[in-house]
Amino acid sequence: MMRTFRIARPDETLRRELADKIDNLTKPKGSLGRLEELALQIGLVQQTLCPQLHRPQNIIFAADHGIADEGVSLSPKEVTWQQVFNFVHGGAGVNFLCRQHGFGLKVVDAGVDYDFPSGLDIIDLKVAHGTRNYLHGPAMTADEMELCLERGAEVVRRCHAEGSNVLSFGEMGIGNTSASSLWMTCLTDIPLPRCVGAGSGLGPQGVSHKLDVLTRALDSYRGDGSVTDVMRHFGGFEMVMAVGAMLQAAELRVLVLVDGFIMTACLLAASRLCPEVMPYAVFGHCGDESGHRLLLDAIGAKPLLNLGLRLGEGTGAICAYPIVDSAVRMINEMDTFGNAAITKYF
């Protein structure tokens, strides 16, 4: 039986008090823009006038995709396991950002087609050695999908037990922009050609081939179109684990920092399962993958940054974290007009 997440929307009772506190800080009303919106959102999530951010962590879920055998990515499949080694050795893009911004890093083997040696700092939650090729049938079974949801949730419970109340999520899996494009078209009705982009760097001919493969996969789909069936048929183990992780985070009132195209597709799926997840999500950036802006618009998301990023791994979400931190510092550290004996000048 699939895990049920009991997510409650933040109680709105505190909204007026939060807004009054923010409006009475020593600044013109609304002059700190998105920082004020974020402070209000985080205060509602945490149900306090004095929100705090504790022990931020980035969780990377890694897995392989059977569709990679069709040449839909510029990168060969072995890059997945090679990059996992890079994560644990500290040399990847996400590593310097974690060090810079004080994030812990958890690397999860959700289904990499490789057997890692023991003793590495990897959380082994492998479901299988990669998904099946969805050009020829479902990527995973219903049992595998349910196991992924539960295992993603398990990692978040570990972080929560360690004192984390803000988490970002990243992924590693050659072929996962393809899966994300299919989730996007199936769950938003945006035409597939508008959902398909260059991934890790395909040229026009490569994008055309990728679109052809994904069109054939979509044309051969005979499922019922439900969220869970779309997730199961086209998804990756790492993506479904991320969906479970996001839902568990929201259930625990943990702030969710959403990264790029793939993690936004995972938040899309999570929100279709439980719309109540949305108030817990902060969208870090709009990436350079062609479908990302369309997807953000489709779910009404307002990203904090636009830096042309398309690396994944959680990098864009972590880059945005100082803005989230600034919002919390604003509501806690700025003085009020009354306390500072300043005449309200607006």
Half-sphere exposure for 102 (CA within 13 Å, toward CB): 9
Distances (CA, A) of 187 to 4, 82, 227, 270, 299: 20, 32, 7, 11, 11
* Sign, Cα dihedral of 236, 179, 176, 160: negative
Phi, psi of 42 (to 5 degrees): -70, -35
- pTM for the model stands at 0.96
Cα–Cα separations (whole angstroms), residue 299 to 53, 69, 78, 277, 283: 26, 31, 33, 12, 11
- Show the tokens assigned to 164: 């984390």
Q: Whole-angstrom Cα distance, residue 220 to residue 36?
A: 47
Contact call for residues 111 and 237 (beta carbons, < 8 A): yes
**pLDDT, one tens digit for every residue, the chain (346 residues):** 678 899 999 999 999 999 999 999 999 999 999 999 999 999 999 999 999 999 999 999 999 999 999 999 989 999 999 999 999 999 999 999 999 999 999 999 999 999 999 999 999 999 999 999 999 999 999 999 999 999 999 999 999 999 999 999 999 999 999 999 999 999 999 999 999 998 878 899 999 999 999 999 999 999 999 999 999 999 999 999 999 999 999 999 999 999 999 999 999 999 999 999 999 999 999 998 889 999 999 999 999 999 999 999 999 999 999 999 999 999 999 999 888 888 876 6
How far, rounded to the nearest angstrom, does the alpha carbon of residue 38 sit from its chain's CA centroid? 18
C-alpha 280/C-alpha 249 separation (Å) is 8
Check residue 346 and give its pLDDT.
64
DSSP alpha helix (H) spans, the chain: 15-23, 33-46, 79-89, 93-101, 142-161, 176-188, 192-195, 204-219, 227-234, 237-251, 261-273, 292-298, 315-333, 337-340
Q: What is the pLDDT of residue 290?
A: 83
Question: How far lies 165's CA from each of 11, 99, 196, 250, 287, in Å?
Answer: 18, 18, 34, 10, 25
Q: What is the DSSP string of 197-228?
A: --TTT--HHHHHHHHHHHHHHHHT--S---HH
Catalytic center residues: 313
**Residue 171 — φ and ψ, nearest 5°?**
-145, 160
Q: Give the separation between CA 270 and CA 263, rounded to whole angstroms.
A: 10
Report whether 174 contacts 65 (CB < 8 A): yes
Nearest to 3 by CA among 254, 244, 226: 244
Q: How many CB atoms are located within 10 Å of the residue 338 CB? A: 10
Q: Calculate the dihedral angle through the C-alpha atoms of 92, 94, 98, 103, rounding to the nearest 10 degrees.
A: -130
63/108 Cα distance (integer angstroms): 9
> How many Å apart are CA 153 and CA 157, to the nearest integer?
6
